Structures are given as structure tokens and as C-alpha cells.
Structure 1
Amino acid sequence: MAHDDEGIYEVPGEDFDTDPEVEEARRAGERALACLNKASEKLRAASGLGLLDIFGGGLITGVAKQYQVSEANDALAAADDALRDFQRELGDVDESLGIDPKVMTGFWSFADLVFDGPISDVVVQKRIEDARSRVEKATKAVKRCLALLGH
């Protein structure tokens, strides 16, 4: 049935959300979730290699771990950007994400290679696990917000 005064069409049995702000927020949330999933995947790989490195994995393991940490840093930076976009879009629909994940810095990757040893390996592993925890919390918050938006 058509509403002449609004130009909106209804289809029986269908519930369309015509609010473009909500749709923009959903799309931003989906992008943020995809970035967080990629970051989680990279951090999981870095964590596995990090544990191996701690228990005597050697130079090749250390280099492989640093590659995964670098990939995770890139994924975390993309997730951070996507989360900022999502937060901005949520503001347009009066919702709040309520998180502010921090991106790992590159210093520990550098320090881990230069000062390769058990102490730097453990410090880097702790930072990887901290980042994994923040990504997990951010993922839950994004999923909660998407549910509120009707995703």
C-alpha cells in the first residue's frame, strides 16, 4: 500500500527499516566486525608462534611471529578506524559503542627482534594476549550494538 504523503511503499508481511542512519550504522558495524575478526585471526597466529618462540622456537619462529605481529598491527589499525566510523554512525542513531581499543605499537616487535630472548618474548606475548582480549571485548560490543540496530 502506498502512502501518498510520504512516498513510502509497504509490502505486506515485510518490515523495512527506512531510516538511512540506521542502515549506515549497520554497514559501519559490519565493517568493524570484519576488521576485528581479521585482527583476531592475526593475533591468534601471532600468539601461537609467540608461545613457540618463548619455548625455544629460534630465529625462524621469531621472524614468523614478527610477521604475524606486523599483520596484526595493520589489522588492528584498520579495526580502530572502522570502530571510530561505527561510533560516529552510532551517534547519529543515539547509540554508543562504549569502547576504545588501542592499537599495539611497533616498538615491541623491533625490541623483540633486536633483543631476542626470553624476557622480550614474554613481554611481546603479554601484549599479544592483551590485544586479543581487547579485540574480543570490542567484538562483543559491536555485536551487541548490531543486535540493537536490528542486525
Structure 2
Amino acid sequence: MDGMSKRERLEATLRGEEVDRVPVALWRHWPGDDQRAADLARAHIAFQQRYDFDLVKVTPCSGYSVEDWGVETHYEGNTEGTRVYTRRRVREPGDWERLEVLDPERGALGRQLECLRMLRDGLDPEVPFIQTIFNPLSVA
């Protein structure tokens, strides 16, 4: 158990097994950088290199999953990265049925996938990372 890798430590923890120490991770948002895949990936990689956490939690802007449906947001300076929603796609229950299927390789979804690919290539393979997925009921 001595000298577990970050991945071994996290996976053992999730299985309820004994570990050499409790896994540690902290995260934050990068307003502005979260609008561009390369900038967001660089910010996460630099944060991980500085603090050497056991996992990286990827923190895109809250509207990334619904932006391609026409949801509009803007940033007003909140230090935690919260964006203000100025246009929502779902305004009544029937709107859910009218949402078209999005191509995950294009638009904001594609941008976020590209960021994840950059993180996969830029982080040590032993550092697990997990993507924040916001609840569509709260952001659409």
C-alpha cells in the first residue's frame, strides 16, 4: 500500500479498500478561459502541476451543455465563475420535447470534448480526471 499512485489511491477508495492516505482534490473555475478549450486545459494542467492533487475535476462554464440549443449567458465578474443566464431554451414543459439531438463533436460540446482530449494528453496518465456535468433541468 505504500507509495500508491493517484489512480490506485482513488480507485481503491471508490472500492472501499484501505489506502495509504485519503485522496485530496480541490478545484476552481476559470472565467474567460472556460470559453476556449486550449485555455481551459492549460489552466487545469497548471493548477494540477502546482498543487499535485489526486484527481482533476474539470470545471467548464455552467452553460456549456445547453449553449448549442441557444441558451445565452454572460459573465458579470463572479469570482466562482457563475454566469448569468439571459436566454433559456426551455420556458414551458413542451419545450423539452422540441429539443433537437446535438452533435457532441461540434459547438460548445465539441469545445469541451477537445479540452478533455487536451487534458488526457497533457496530464500524467496516473492522474484521474472527471468532467463536471450540470443538470439540464437547472440550466436549459
TM-score bucket (shorter structure): under 0.3
- Structure number with the higher helix fraction is 1
Larger of the two Rg values belongs to structure = 1
TM-score normalized by the length of structure 2: 0.27
